[in-house]
């Protein structure tokens, strides 16, 4: 704060002794010391309250971000629920029917049995 060395304090003490006298100097020194202590404690209290407010503000930022994320997730959930509500309830609970082969009006063609491999008769075995 103030750069006051030993020489300056000695000079102020001598001037105070000459101006105030030996009877009033100790009382004035005690009063000035008390005022300095009160001023220092008030300054420290103010500094601590400002630091506490800054820390509280720093803590509020992540909380605000978390709140925004929760709101976003809630909105997405609500929109999903609303889209489910918009579905037709008869379609929602109707079981899926198995697909059947298509029936033709034409008569079915008989299938030809597979021909067995016939031995080659070009060679008469003679």
pLDDT in tens, 22-51: 888 889 889 989 999 999 999 999 999 999
CA atoms of 15 and 7, how far apart (whole Å): 12
One digit per residue, pLDDT tens: the chain, 126 residues? 567 788 988 898 888 888 888 888 889 889 989 999 999 999 999 999 999 999 988 888 888 999 999 999 999 998 888 887 777 666 555 555 666 665 656 655 656 555 555 555 565 555
What is the extent of the structural domain holding 27? 11-76
CA atoms of 56 and 48, how far apart (whole Å): 12
pLDDT of residue 50: 93
Assigned domain for 83 exists: no
Assigned domain for 81 exists: no
Assigned domain for 4 exists: no
Assigned domain for 94 exists: no
pLDDT of residue 12: 85
pLDDT of residue 73: 93
Residue 25 near residue 16 (C-beta atoms within 8 A): yes
Assigned domain for 88 exists: no
Domain count, the chain: 1
Q: Count the neighbouring beta carbons within 10 Å of the beta carbon of residue 20.
A: 14
Assigned domain for 105 exists: no
Say what the pTM is: 0.41
Assigned domain for 6 exists: no
Assigned domain for 33 exists: yes
| Of 89, 87, 85, 65, the residue nearest 77 (C-alpha) | 85
């Amino acid at each position: 704060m103030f750069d006051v060395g030993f020489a300056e304090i000695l000079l102020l003490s001598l001037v105070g002794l000459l101006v105030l006298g030996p009877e009033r100097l100790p009382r004035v020194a005690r009063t000035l010391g008390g005022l300095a202590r009160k001023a220092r404690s008030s300054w420290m209290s103010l500094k601590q309250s400002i630091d506490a407010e800054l820390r509280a503000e720093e803590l509020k930022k992540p909380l605000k971000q978390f709140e925004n994320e929760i709101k976003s997730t809630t909105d997405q959930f609500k929109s999903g629920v609303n889209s489910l509500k918009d579905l037709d309830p008869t379609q929602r609970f109707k079981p899926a029917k198995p697909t059947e082969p298509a029936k033709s009006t034409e008569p079915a063609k008989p299938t030809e049995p597979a021909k067995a491999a016939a031995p080659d008769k070009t060679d008469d075995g003679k």
